[in-house]
Every structure is written in structure tokens, then in C-alpha cells.
Amino acid sequence: MTEAQATPQVRKRVLLAKPRGYCAGVDRAVQTVQEALKLYGAPIYVRKQIVHNKHVVSTLERQGAIFVEENEEVPEGAIVIFSAHGVAPEVHEQAKARSLRAIDATCPLVTKVHHEARRFAADDYDILLIGHEGHEEVIGTSGEAPAHIQLVDGPGAADTVTVRDPAKVVWLSQTTLSVDETMETVARLKRRLPLLQSPPSDDICYATQNRQHVVKEIAPDCDVVIVVGSRNSSNSVRLVEVAVDAGARAGYLVDYASEIADEWLAGATTVGVTSGASVPDDLVMEVLDHLAERGFGEVTEITTADERLTFSLPQELKRDMRAAAARAAQAAPLAATAVES
């Protein structure tokens, strides 16, 4: 018997999380830009990154999308798409002032939070918005009722909140937060404000919750969890934190498979893989190929939810698509008559 035959082979495997990757809101936003490019032609202007993913943004740039920070960078009268993270009302007003044709690709789940903010503000509530300072979604939601909204950035910030009337206060949240950290923040707020009301339904989106739940399932069995996603993606960053908190030895965030360092895998036998809600699945497949080349060829997919939710495209875009289709249908018989004659 040779030494190689006598040495037991270490079983290396990958636990692949499902659900992972694109959520309904991201799929809708990316499709909005793609369909706008087909319908109107390049260039199409997009205010902020349409979704927080480096690969998606660069792909759309190659197709003719131009990403800008503010409406002032868009030529007057041009088309501008607002990102999935939502915008404050003043951004819509700025677009009108420049005669921009605005297409709003805000995720409907973010729009729901905006509606809640307006409703509670109209009833003169103090609104405690749990979220991360500077995040586009927080800026957009805060803009709906700036006089009524206070940002609570994590559990520690709960201890410094002041309100006008402890009997008229409600909490809302950014949709892409850690579920556990948000609930910890709410618990600390309620210790100081026992009459604090909750939103009518969860503000943290279903996709964020589902991706965190499956990571919690696989993390205790993983030496390393690799999350595919960009560093400005809140939900992707949260997945790394959730993985480590749930028992993984280490967690790493990468945009591409090439960023995976071999030392991360040293001594590992089980690697968990997932991706943020704005990540196309082909990037995950490249990570699996990369791991297979390093001996992690056994892949087991762990599923904890079946996602079937879809969102329709923005009304502004659908209206123009229907008009274009009608024009094409009217032109077809004329073209056929011309050929026959």
C-alpha cells in the first residue's frame, strides 16, 4: 500500500444556500434599465446605481446606461431612471423642473415604507427609522417626512432617542437590515418607550429575511462562508455578519471568484456559498467552479424557502412599451401592402 493510499482523503464540500441572488425588486429594476435601452435607445441616464452591485452596473454601462449622482447631471428633457432604493419627493420635483422623463424603479417594498412614513407623519407621529446613516434608501424614506423622522442607526443609538409624545411614536426600518440586529434595536427602544408602535407589516423585505435564514442554517456546519456581493450592498454585508454570528469560523465578501484567497480555504472542509439580493447567479457559478478547482467539488444545495414573487415594470415604462407595440402593429400591414405592390 502506498503512502497516498494509506492517507485518508479529506472530504471537501460546498453548502450552497437557496434562496440567494436576485430578489423581485432587483430583477424589476435591472429589467427596467434593459427595456428602456431597447425602447428609447442609448444613452439612458440612471440616478445612483440602479442596484448595489459592481458587475450589474458595469454590464449596464456597456449596454448604454449612464449612471449619475444627481438630476443636474442629466441633460434637460432626457430620460432618467430612479434606482431601486427609492428617492425623496424633492428628487421628483427636481426632475420635473429639468423637464426630465422620470421612470421610477423603486422597489415596491421600499415604496411601502414610504407610504407608511407619509401616513404616520400625517397623523403627527414621531417616526423612528432604523437604518444606516447615508444609505440611499434611508435618505429617500427620510425625505418623505423629515420633520417627523429620526434615524436610529443600530441598538446603541436607541438610548439617545427623544420624542415629543411617548404615546405617539412608531418605528420603521430600512428593508435590507439584519433581522436580529433590528429586533435588538426595537427591544431597546421599547424599554424606553413602552408604547412604541410597530409597522403594519415587516419592513425588512422577504428576500433579505430569507437569505439570512438559510445562512443561519448552513453557517454552523461551515468553516468558511463566502458571500458574493458588493461592499456597498447592505444586505450582502449583513449576510457575512449573520454567517459569523451563526457559527461560521469566518465569512468573506467578494464581487468575483478571483478575489477568493487560497489562505481562506486552508484547513477548511466545508465552505458555505451564498449571494446578496442584487447578484446575478452566474457570478455564484464562477465561485463554485473556482472552489471545485481547489478540491471542493461536492455541492449540496440547502433550500429553506421557495421564492415566486415578481413585480411588474414601472407604469411609465409599460405605457410607452404598449404605445410602441401598437405603432408597430399598425405599421405591419402597411409594410406588407408596400411589398405586395
Any idea which residues carry the catalytic annotation?
A: 137
The rounded distance, in Å, linking the Cα atoms of 229 and 66 is: 22
Task: Kindly give the interhelix angle for 108-122 and 24-40, rounded to the nearest 10 degrees.
Answer: 110
The rounded distance, in Å, linking the Cα atoms of 220 and 216 is: 7
Q: Which three cell numbers stand for residue 99?
A: 423637464
What residues form DSSP beta bridges with 46?
67, 81
* CA dihedral sign of residues 286, 291, 292, 297: negative
Q: How far is CA 129 from CA 111, 185, 206, in A?
A: 15, 11, 18
**Phi, psi torsion values for 270, nearest 5 degrees:** -130, 125
DSSP symbols for 268-321: -SEEEEEE-TT--HHHHHHHHHHHHTTT--EEEEEE--------PPPHHHHHHH
